[in-house]
Amino acid sequence: MTETPTLELRGIDKSFGPVQVLHDVALSAYAGEVTALVGDNGAGKSTLVKCIGGIHSADAGDYLFEGRPVQVHSPRDAAALGVEIVYQDLALCDNLDIVQNMFLGREKRRGLVLDDSTMEEMAAATLQSLSVRTVKSLRQKVSSLSGGQRQTVAIAKAVLWNSKLVVLDEPTAALGVAQTAQVLELVRRLADNGLAVVLISHNMNDVFAVSDRIAALYLGRTAAQVKASDATHAQVVELITSGRSGDLGPQNTSKGAAA
Ligand SMILES: Nc1ncnc2c1ncn2[C@@H]1O[C@H](COP(=O)(O)OP(=O)(O)OP(=O)(O)O)[C@@H](O)[C@H]1O
Ligand SMILES: [Mg+2]
C-alpha cells in the first residue's frame, strides 16, 4: 500500500540572484510521522522551509499537498492549506502575552471588540491538548518565558489552526537538556495526534529520538530520504558531511521513502 504524503516536493530549484541555493530538491512528509530534515550549515534547509511556508516562491518544481498540485506563493497560501511553520528566528512578540501571541494577526472578534475569553479558552485547550503544563499563566508576557516555554508557545500557535503539516526549524537549538526533552516530546505528540511534522535539527540524538524518516540535504541537493530505522547515526552524519553513505545517496534517494 502506498500512502499519499501530506507534503510532497519534487524538483525544487531556488536561486537568490546568481546563487542557486536549492537544486532539484525532493521532500515527502507523511501524516502521523516526524520527518527530520538534516544538513550542514548553509545546506539550504531554512530556504526549503521558507519555500514550504510561502515566504519564498520556488523557481521550479512541484508542490503537492495531500496528493494535489498546489501553488504556494505567500504565507497566506500555506496557511490556507493547513501548513504552519515555526521559523528558526522565532516570530513571537516579547511585549505581548501568550494568548496575544498565539492569535497575533488572526484575532477572534465579537462584533468590533476582541473576544478575549474565546481566545483564552482556545489557547488553554490547545496547550492542554499538547499536555503543556509548565506555563503558569496565559496572560504572562512572552519576555518572561524560558527558551523552552517560548518554543512551546510557538508550537502551540502553529497547531491552533487545524494545521495538517507543521514544520519546525531547529526548535531545540538554543535549549538545555531538560527543555530539549520537553520540546521533542511535544514534537512526537504532534505526529501522534495525526499531523505531518518536519523537524530540522543538527542533533543526531534528537533526530533519532523522534523521527520516522530522515531527509538529508547536501549543498542544496537531496542526498537521501530514508526511514530512520534503515540508517545509523554514522550514515546520517556521512550523508550530511559528504552527500552520500554506502548505498545511501543520490542514486537511492527513494529508498525507504516509497515503502
Ligand atoms: N535571502 C537570501 N539571499 C541570498 N542568499 C540566501 C538567502 N537566504 C539564504 N541564502 C543562502 O542560501 C544558503 C542556504 O541557507 P539556509 O539558511 O537555507 O541554510 P540552512 O541549511 O538553514 O543552514 P543553518 O543550518 O545554518 O540554519 C546559504 O548559503 C545562504 O547564505
Ligand atoms: Mg537554517
DSSP string, 108-167: -EETTEE-HHHHHHHHHHHHHHTT------TTSBGGGS-HHHHHHHHHHHHHTT--SEEE
Q: Kindly state if the Cβ of 43 falls inside 6 Å of ligand 1.
A: yes
d(Cα 236, Cα 147) in Å, to the nearest integer?
Answer: 28
Which of 40, 41, 46 for mutating ligand 1's site (highest number of atoms within 8 Å of CB)?
46
Q: Which of 186, 212, 216 is nearest to 201 (CA)?
A: 216
Q: What are phi and psi of 66, to 5 degrees?
A: 50, 40
Q: Which residue has the cell 498565539?
A: 102
Is the pLDDT confidence value at 180 over 60?
Answer: yes
Mean pLDDT is lowest, of 37-51, 165-179, 187-201, for: 165-179
Is the pLDDT confidence value at 259 over 70?
Answer: no
d(Cα 20, Cα 32) in Å, to the nearest integer?
Answer: 33
Q: Which three cell numbers stand for residue 241?
A: 558531511
Is the pLDDT confidence value at 53 over 90?
Answer: yes
Mean pLDDT is lowest, of 60-64, 70-74, 104-108, for: 104-108
Whether 155 contacts 73, CB under 8 Å: no
Say how many Å lie between the CA of residue 229 and the centre of ligand 2. 25
Which of 16, 20, 207 for mutating ligand 1's site (highest number of atoms within 8 Å of CB)?
16
Say how many Å lie between the CA of residue 41 and the centre of ligand 2. 7
**Tens-place pLDDT, residues 126-164:** 888 777 777 788 898 988 887 778 888 888 888 888 799
| CATH 3.60.10.10, domain 1-82+164-171+194-259, yes or no | no
Is the pLDDT confidence value at 91 over 80?
Answer: no
Mapping DSSP to helix (H, G, I), strand (E, B) and coil, where does residue 187 land?
A: helix
d(Cα 189, Cα 11) in Å, to the nearest integer?
Answer: 31
Mean pLDDT is lowest, of 73-77, 88-92, 106-110, 210-214, for: 88-92
Across residues 218-235, what is the average pLDDT?
A: 95
Whether 99 contacts 138, CB under 8 Å: yes
* Domain limits, the chain: 1-82+164-171+194-259
Q: Kindly state if the Cβ of 44 falls inside 6 Å of ligand 1.
A: yes
Is the pLDDT confidence value at 257 over 60?
Answer: no
Instruction: Give the per-residue pLDDT at 136.
Output: 81
Say how many Å lie between the CA of residue 38 and the centre of ligand 2. 10
Tell me the pLDDT band of 251, cut-offs 50, 70 and 90: low
The DSSP bridge pattern shows strands 7-16 and 60-65 to be antiparallel
Q: Which residue's CA is minimally distant from atom 16 of ligand 1?
A: 44
Orientation of helix 147-159 relative to helix 177-192, angle to 10°: 10
Whether 37 contacts 97, CB under 8 Å: no
**Tens-place pLDDT, residues 184-221:** 988 999 999 899 999 999 899 999 999 999 999 999 99
Looking at the chain, the whole-number percentage of residues with pLDDT higher than 70 is 94
Is the pLDDT confidence value at 255 over 70?
Answer: no
Contacts of 6 (CB under 8 A, 6+ apart): 29, 30, 31, 65, 66, 164, 165, 196
Is the pLDDT confidence value at 256 over 60?
Answer: no
Which of 19, 21, 23 for mutating ligand 1's site (highest number of atoms within 8 Å of CB)?
21
Across residues 113-135, what is the average pLDDT?
A: 87
Q: Give this prediction's pTM.
A: 0.88
Q: Which ligand is in closest contact with the Cα of 219? A: 1
Q: Which residue's CA is minimally distant from atom 18 of ligand 1?
A: 44
What is the number of residues in the chain? 259
Tell me the pLDDT band of 240, cut-offs 50, 70 and 90: very high
Alpha-carbon distance values, 230 to 9, 29, 61, 64, 113 (Å): 22, 17, 28, 25, 54
